[in-house]
Structure 1
Amino acid sequence: MADDEAAKSLSALLNGIAQKVYYNNTEVTEEQLRGELYPELPPEEFRALHERMAGLLKSIATADMDHAQLEAFLTAQTKRQGGGGVTAEQAAALSRFWKSQRARVRESLLARSRWEPGLRGLSWRVDLQTAASRGDAGHSGPVALVELELGRAGQDSEFVCLEFDEAKVNHVLKKMADIQKSIDGFVHRA
């Protein structure tokens, strides 16, 4: 019976950590979790358990581990010597938690990583404008027309229309190449 209670307390702790970290429930606090789930545990020991479980959940969630990856990760954690590993019971609780909460945690992480407003759509075309159609005897040439569909979750889209001549298109392409070069440099350093 004691093992059953320990498993329930650990499952509740994992759910509490998820509520606080991934589901933005500000009512859940570390002190509240300790008081409700582990009142007999000294604060330092609870803090260590809390930090270890939060760290393991972060590793699992960041990697969005599938079943095989999760099992391999938890097996490695149970074999660790010292205070950084987990017991077989803790590994089982982590596995049960992740199987039931993976989709929800993943959606929470994705929602946090989205910029608002987001780009919902993009359409473009190139028009060839002649001097006669512009009323400008000195300029004729291609013009790129770009329409961006922007929106926030749960709201109607807004549309922005941009017009670029050849020089502006080349400038945008150069800036995008610079961005790609920066990203590549960062990825290769990491």
Structure 2
Amino acid sequence: MAEVEAAKALGGLLNGIAQQVYYNNSDITEELLKSELYPEAAPEDFRSLLEKMKGLLKSIAAADMDPVQLEFFLTAQTRKQGGGGPTPEQAAALTRFWKSQRLRVRESLLNQSRWEPGLRGLSWRVDLQAAHGTGTGGTGDHGGPVALMELELGRPGQDSEFVSLEFDEAKVAEVLKKMSDIQESIDRIVHRS
């Protein structure tokens, strides 16, 4: 029975670390984790366990380890000289946790690494303007096609922002040329490495 309780406490600790580090839950504090999961532990013992598990979890998440990599990593860590690595029980708890949370942690890390808003959606259409163009943007006196584009931008947890763009035929050709130049640059870099 004591082993089951220890495994539950360790699972709770890993979830608490994930809430703090990856899911930005400021309600989860070190004091809360200690009082809820390890009330009998000495403060220095709890802090040591917390830092060890946090370090291991950060290493696992940074490498986005698959099950084989995780097994090799934890096996090497448990054999560490000086007893600084995880116990077999701790390694098992890390394996269970990572199996259930890997995708969510990866998504959180990706979201945290984005500095700018991401593209959430894009809609477009092409309009033909009447000959003396009093159309949507007054782009000229010709009756050529006009491309209208709306971009939906946003950061995780925030409302979307919308940006509307209007291009005449020459601007569309210019954008396509720039995109072609960018693709050529990427191809050169990729083929060089």
The normalised TM-score by structure 2 is 0.67
Gap change, CA 1:67 and 1:40, over 3 Å in 2: same
User: Which position in structure 2 is the counterpart of 1:8?
Assistant: 8
Q: Which sections of structure 2, spanning at least 5 residues, go unmatched?
A: 125-139, 142-146
User: Which position in structure 2 is the counterpart of 1:131?
Assistant: none
User: 1:61-107, CA deviations, whole angstroms, 9 ceiling, x for partnerless residues?
Assistant: 11111111111111111110124311100000000000011111111
User: Which position in structure 1 is the counterpart of 2:112?
Assistant: 112
User: Which position in structure 2 is the counterpart of 1:158?
Assistant: 162
Alignment of 1:163-178 (within 5 A): none
User: 1:1-22, CA deviations, whole angstroms, 9 ceiling, x for partnerless residues?
Assistant: 2222111111110011111111
Letter in 2 for 1:158: F
Letter in 1 for 2:74: L
Alignment of 1:24-63 (within 5 A): 24-63=24-63
Gap change, CA 1:122 and 1:83, over 3 Å in 2: farther
User: 1:14-71, CA deviations, whole angstroms, 9 ceiling, x for partnerless residues?
Assistant: 0111111111211111011111111121111111110111111111111111111111
Gap change, CA 1:156 and 1:37, over 3 Å in 2: closer
Task: Tell me whether 1:103 sits opposite 2:107 in the alignment.
Answer: no
For the residue of structure 2 that corresponds to 1:82, the secondary structure is helix
User: 1:118-162, CA deviations, whole angstroms, 9 ceiling, x for partnerless residues?
Assistant: 475699xxxxxxxxxx89xxxxxxxxx9x6834115756633548
Letter in 1 for 2:67: H
Alignment of 1:131-146 (within 5 A): none
Please give the alpha-carbon distance, in whole angstroms, between the structure 2 residues aligned to 1:122 and 1:18: 37
Please give the alpha-carbon distance, in whole angstroms, between the structure 1 residues aligned to 2:95 and 2:117: 33
Letter in 1 for 2:162: E
Q: Which sections of structure 1, spanning at least 5 residues, go unmatched?
A: 124-133, 136-144, 185-190
| Aligned 8 A contact 1:61 1:106 in 2 | yes
For the residue of structure 2 that corresponds to 1:85, the secondary structure is coil
Gap change, CA 1:103 and 1:117, over 3 Å in 2: closer
Letter in 1 for 2:94: L
Please give the alpha-carbon distance, in whole angstroms, between the structure 2 residues aligned to 1:82 and 1:112: 35
Root mean square deviation, CA, Å: 3.9
Please give the alpha-carbon distance, in whole angstroms, between the structure 2 residues aligned to 1:117 and 1:66: 27
For the residue of structure 1 that corresponds to 2:81, the secondary structure is coil
User: What number of residue pairs does the alignment pair up?
Assistant: 170
Please give the alpha-carbon distance, in whole angstroms, between the structure 1 residues aligned to 2:150 and 2:8: 50
User: Which position in structure 2 is the counterpart of 1:149?
Assistant: 151
| Aligned 8 A contact 1:61 1:105 in 2 | yes
